[in-house]
């Protein structure tokens, strides 16, 4: 699939590795940085979703999405992303993600608003309104490559996905250029999506980044060996 991830905010919290590991399938090992596992909450605008060679349909290909994810190593030691949930505002996209990619998509009422340096995200699940997310951030200065720390790159530079399809661990490549990262300051945060994934409530302020976005190409699944 081809798509663009626009107006994205990265919010991350450290967790004990054993807490996150308990929620992973066999074959995946939680990856640590600075002595912790990390869980991310990423609201953004999905745009231009299409199969290669097929034009994007305006309504169907553009919608808000919010991911809850962590970072893992596969059986061969390669690093990637494990999704605990993916909330999306288009039911056809939710069904396609579940059937075609085996990903835990959830249908939600969602919005993304951009007003100058302000980004506001809202989400409520249709079948579980208690699972919600409200985030507002103020976008700051560019975070240049020389300024980026190992943690900045660890939390954002990810190019592989993992899932379980028909009981088998599978992986796919996510090709995209480096994120044009910016600093971000959280001015509002209320969420229960991490708790809905089975995680304890996060503590402390999240590590925050933002980006205008990148174009992405998701490859086919193949068995993780």
pLDDT in tens, 158-208: 999 999 998 999 999 999 999 999 999 999 999 999 999 999 999 999 999
Provide the whole-model pTM. Answer: 0.95
Tell whether the model's pLDDT for residue 136 goes beyond 80: yes
Q: What is the pLDDT of residues 194-213, one digit of tens each?
A: 999 999 999 999 999 999 99
Q: What is the mean pLDDT of residues 96-111?
A: 92
Beta pairing, strands 2-15 & 207-218: antiparallel
CA distances from 8 to 56, 86, 94, 223 (A): 20, 14, 19, 29
Angle 151-193-189 from CA coordinates, rounded to 5°:
70
Q: What are the structural domain ranges in the chain?
A: 2-221
Given the candidates 1.25.40.10, 2.40.400.10, 3.30.9.10, 3.30.420.130, the CATH classification of the domain at 2-221 is: 2.40.400.10
Among residues 11, 194, 168, the alpha carbon closest in space to that of 74 is found at: 168
CA–CA separation, 125 and 221 (whole Å) = 27
Structure tokens at 216: 């992405």
Token pair 């925050």 in the structure block, residue: 208
Structure tokens at 221: 């699944």
Please give the pLDDT value at position 57. 72
Q: What is the pLDDT of residues 21-61, one digit of tens each?
A: 999 999 999 999 999 999 999 999 999 888 877 777 777 78
Band (18; pLDDT cuts 50, 70, 90): very high
Structure tokens at 27: 């074959």
């Amino acid at each position: 699939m081809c798509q663009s991830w626009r107006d994205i905010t990265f919010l991350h919290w450290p967790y004990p590795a054993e807490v996150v590991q308990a929620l992973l399938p066999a074959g995946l090992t939680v990856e640590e940085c600075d002595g912790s596992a990390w869980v991310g909450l990423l609201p953004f605008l999905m745009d231009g979703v299409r199969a290669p060679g097929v034009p994007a349909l305006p309504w169907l290909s553009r919608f808000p999405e919010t991911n809850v994810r962590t970072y893992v190593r596969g059986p061969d030691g390669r690093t990637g992303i494990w999704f605990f949930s993916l909330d999306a505002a288009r039911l056809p996209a939710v069904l396609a993600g579940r059937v075609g990619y085996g990903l835990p998509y959830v249908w939600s009422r969602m919005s993304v608003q951009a007003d100058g340096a302000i980004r506001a995200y809202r989400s409520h699940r249709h079948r579980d309104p208690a699972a919600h997310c409200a985030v507002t951030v103020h976008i700051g200065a560019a975070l240049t490559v020389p300024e980026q720390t190992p943690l900045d790159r660890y939390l954002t530079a990810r190019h592989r996905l993992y899932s379980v399809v028909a009981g088998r661990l599978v992986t796919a490549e996510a090709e995209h250029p480096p994120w044009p990262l910016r600093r971000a300051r959280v001015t509002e945060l209320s969420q229960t999506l991490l708790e809905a994934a089975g995680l304890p409530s996060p503590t402390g302020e999240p590590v925050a980044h933002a980006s205008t976005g990148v174009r992405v190409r998701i490859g086919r699944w193949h068995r993780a060996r």
